[in-house]
Amino acid sequence: MKTLLKYDIQYFLKTPRLIIFLVLAFFLSALSAFTARYMNVILEYAMRQEGIEGITFPEPTTMDAYMQFFGNYQQIFVLVMVFIAVGMFTSDKTKNHYPFIFTHSIHRDHYVFSKLIVVSSIVAISVLLGALVFGLYTFLLFGSFDVVMFAAAVLVFMLFLLFLIVTVAMVSFSLKHYIGSVTIGVVLLFLLNGLTVVQYGVFVYFPHHLLNLSIHILEGSTDMTTILITLGVTMVFLLVLLVATIYLFRKKPLM
């Protein structure tokens, strides 16, 4: 297992992927704070350039910054994550490394866990560093920042990222090629985003609602029961997906 972890970490260190994650997180975090703070100024300036006078926009609040942060991460960071994660999960297959790897008494379960641990860790580190950058800029620009509530919202969002990573891993380990895996991964991402509009029955507790739950926590518009049930349901989904991923990879031919 240690050898596999070292191998997968080197995969990130020897390629631009780690830098992409870190730079993207820093950029989106800083951009979110600045955009939220000065969007009213930008819009008013654009209106004047079009000859429209007399329209003013309300002063932005920290809630606008929070929504901008999660909006940017959901639309951009998650999409980049899918492309990089699929590449991580399919690289050995596309390079025909399986026969070499698994002739060294390496257990297939350990192989899957190593990939998931490294990808999840890199993503988590990037998001946490991005959250720190965002918090600093937001406090400087708005003069206030709710550390506890924002931290809770970020942790909920990171659980959604873990759910998506495991889902993408199951797809990637089931298919043969990068293109097919990344296509399905992107389709699933857009489907999950689209399903957030479903607000009735047990569907409000399904993992895709973690995207909305982060904002609801910051708004104070949800209750602890809903949060705990959603987290519990997500953990069940994660366990099922993880078992399915391991099962499918055990059955996968090496050639």
Domain that holds residue 213: 2-250
Residue 255, domain member (yes or no)? no
Q: What pLDDT sits at residue 104?
A: 67
Residue 206 and residue 187: Cα distance in Å, rounded?
A: 18
pLDDT > 90: percent of the chain: 30
Residue 115, domain member (yes or no)? yes
User: For residues 175 and 181, is the Cβ–Cβ distance under 8 A?
Assistant: yes
Whether the predicted pLDDT of 11 surpasses 70: yes
Whether the predicted pLDDT of 46 surpasses 70: no
Whether the predicted pLDDT of 105 surpasses 90: no
Sequence-distant (6+) residues with CB within 8 A of 85 are 119, 123, 165, 168, 169, 172, 185
What average pLDDT does the segment 238-255 reach? 82
Whole-number mean pLDDT of the chain?
A: 83
- When mean pLDDT is compared across 123-132, 204-213, 229-238, the lowest value belongs to 204-213
Number of domains forming the structure of the chain: 1
Q: To 10 degrees, the CA torsion angle through 172, 184, 130, 125? A: -10
Residue 27 and residue 216: Cα distance in Å, rounded?
A: 25
CA 242 to each of CA 49, 91, 99, 149, 237: distance values in angstroms, whole numbers, following the listed order:
54, 20, 23, 29, 8
Q: What pLDDT sits at residue 149?
A: 92
Q: Write down the pTM of the prediction.
A: 0.88
What average pLDDT does the segment 12-38 reach? 88
Q: Distance from CA of residue 69 to its chain's centroid?
A: 12
Whether the predicted pLDDT of 244 surpasses 70: yes
Whether the predicted pLDDT of 54 surpasses 80: no
Reported as a pLDDT band with limits 50, 70 and 90, residue 51 is: low
User: For residues 213 and 156, is the Cβ–Cβ distance under 8 A?
Assistant: yes
Sign of the CA dihedral with 138 first, then 140, 146, and 151 last: positive
Residue 230, domain member (yes or no)? yes
